[in-house]
Amino acid sequence: MSSLVDRTVLITGAARGIGRACAVACAAEGADVALMDIGGDCEAVPYQLGSISQLHATADQCRSFGASALVLTGDVRSSRDCCATVQRTLERYGKCDALINSAGIAAPSGSAVHEMTESQWSLMLDVNLSGAWRMIHEVAPAMIHARHGSVVNVASTAGLVAYRNFAAYVAAKHGLVGLSKAAALDLAPFRIRVNALCPGSVRDTEATEGRMLREIAKSLGLGGEDHEAAFIQSQPMNSLIEPQDVADAAVWLVSDGSTQMTGTALPVDGGFSAK
């Protein structure tokens, strides 16, 4: 029997990249999925965010496994959107067994801590940290009522170590790791587990599907088509992380195979953070 049969999993940032990989992997393991993404761009983010068509493409891939897929557009910066997303999930499925917080941005970045603007700082924390808190805040009551649940926050190796010229991103991801640990303690009495995943450099999918690594490279002054090679040089396993690698870990964390895992920050980084 598949590990997520009869489960409902809500995934943010599901239009592409890690979020899409997590959604499809959960569906392949038997889960029904609720898929949330912004479905449009943010003026201050210098690259395209997930589109509605990409979100529907994720849903189609999930349905190919026989899963039910609910498509939801919303911005994790909006408490109203987060509340509506959870409510529609509960209305459709009657429960939410797991939440995977994958929505996030990598830019605006590339400035020293004293050179970034307050709006750049605020945006990064609002999406990458407060967005995850908003979703946990909304879904926790249903999980508490069920005395069951698992939350996976997609952080980064930037939640474990620092990177020059990425102060806001590093602060947000360190905060997300801390949020995961604190929430794990708060929710443990209700049999709800909370963990963070810390991916290393994740390979971009097709140019139209996601370009976070390319944008990080641009912020670091590593332009050109060979930017992947620069990241590979820092990887002990001599390869980039694939979205599927992160999704496999996420599926395990929301399954019964990890019932004693909570409050952890699990690297999926090919040994990068071991250096």
Residue with tokens 């999926």: 268
At 214, the amino acid letter reads R
Strands 98-101 and 265-268: unpaired
| Residues 81, 75 contacting (CB under 8 angstroms) | yes
Q: For this structure, is 169 an active site residue?
A: yes
**Cβ atoms 172, 124 nearer than 8 A:** yes
Helices and strands (DSSP H and E) totals, the chain: 9, 7
SS3 (DSSP) at 215: helix
Residue 93 backbone dihedrals phi, psi, to 5 degrees = -110, -15
Those residues whose C-beta lies under 8 Å from the C-beta of residue 249, and which sit 6 or more positions away, are 197, 266, 268
Which position among 47, 93, 163, 169 bears the catalytic label? 169
For 71, the token pair is: 């498509």
Question: Tokens for 195?
Answer: 């963990």
Q: Which of 253, 246, 262, 244 is nearest to 97 (CA)?
A: 253
Reading the block at residue 275, the tokens are: 């250096």
Catalytic residues: 169
